[in-house]
Amino acid sequence: MRELTSYFVFIQAELKITLRQAFSWITPLLFFVIVVCFFPLALGPDTELLQSIAPSIIWVAAMLAMIISMGSLFKIDADDGFLDIILLSPRSLTMLVFCKILSHWIMHALPLIIISPLLGFLLHLGTKELVVLMITLALGTPVFSLIGGVGAGLIIGIRNHGLLLPILIMPFYIPILIFGTGTIHLAEANQPVLAYYAIMAAILLVTLAFAPLFTGMALKIGVNQ
C-alpha cells in the first residue's frame, strides 16, 4: 500500500471511530455552546458589553472545549493496546501522530468553527467580525490540537493524572489566545488585521513543524513509565 494511502486509511479510521462514539465529539461542542450561551443570560441584554467581551468569551470557551477532548487523544489507544501498533509500525511515527491530531482537529475543532458565527451573532458581533472570528479560530484551534497532543503524549503513562494536562498545556495556549482575541478587537476598531493573521499563521507553522515530532518522542517516553 502506498505511503499516502496508508495515512489516509488511518485518518479515515480515526474519523469513523470518533463518529461512531458520538458523545466524544458532541460533548465538547455542547460545552462550547452552553458556556457561550450562559454569558448573555448572566450579564443581561447589554449589547455593547456583550459585543466587547464576545471575542474573549468565544475564544476561552473554544479553548476549554478543546482541552476537554485532548485527554482522550491517546488514552483510548493506550488502553486498548493500539498505541503499541502505532509505535511498532514501520511507518513514520511523526506522520502517524500528525494524522491522529488532524483527525482530532476535524472532529473536535471544526464543529466549533462552523457553529461559532451563530454564537457570535448571539453576542451581537457584526458580519465582518464574524468572518474574522472564523478565520482566527481556523488558525488557532490547530495550534491547540498540536500543543495538546504533546501534553497528551507526556501524560500517557500517568494514572489518575487529573488536571495535569490543562496545567501542562494551557500556558502554551496564551499567545494564540491573545492574538486570536486581539485580531477580532482590531476588526471591531476597523484596524487592519492582516499582520495578526500572519503572526497566527506563523505560530501555526512553527507548531506544525515541531509538535508531531515532540508528541512522538513524548509517547515513547510515556509508554516507558
Partner 1 sequence: MLPTLNIQNLSFARLDRYFIKDLNIQLLPGEILQILGENGSGKSTLLRILAGLIEPTDGTVYWENRCIFKNDTDYKNVLRYLSDRNALKSYLTVEENLKLVIALGSTESNYLATSQLCHSREGGNPFGIDSRLRGNDRKEQVVERRECNIKHLLKKEVQYLSLGQRRRISFTKILLNPGKIWILDEPMTGLDKKGQEWLNTSLEKHLNANGIIIIATHQPLLLKNTIKTIQLGDISLA
**Which residue ranges make up the site for partner 1 (CB under 8 A)?**
1, 5-7, 9-10, 13, 16-17, 20-21, 79-82, 84-91, 96, 223-224
Contact predicate 185/55, CB 8 Å: yes
Q: Which amino acid is at 134?
A: M
The smaller minimum CB distance to partner 1, of residues 20 and 48, is found at: 20
The smaller minimum CB distance to partner 1, of residues 95 and 138, is found at: 95
Residue 65 Cβ vs partner 1, minimum distance, rounded to whole Å: 22
DSSP for 104-120 reads HHHHHTHHHHHHHHHHH
Residue 213 Cβ vs partner 1, minimum distance, rounded to whole Å: 16
DSSP for 21-51 reads STHHHHHHHHHHHHHHHHHHHHH-S-HHHHH
Contact predicate 193/132, CB 8 Å: yes
The smaller minimum CB distance to partner 1, of residues 89 and 127, is found at: 89
97's grid cell: 501522530
Residue 45 Cβ vs partner 1, minimum distance, rounded to whole Å: 44
Residue 68 Cβ vs partner 1, minimum distance, rounded to whole Å: 19
The smaller minimum CB distance to partner 1, of residues 21 and 127, is found at: 21
Q: How far apart are CA 71 and CA 20, in angstroms?
A: 18
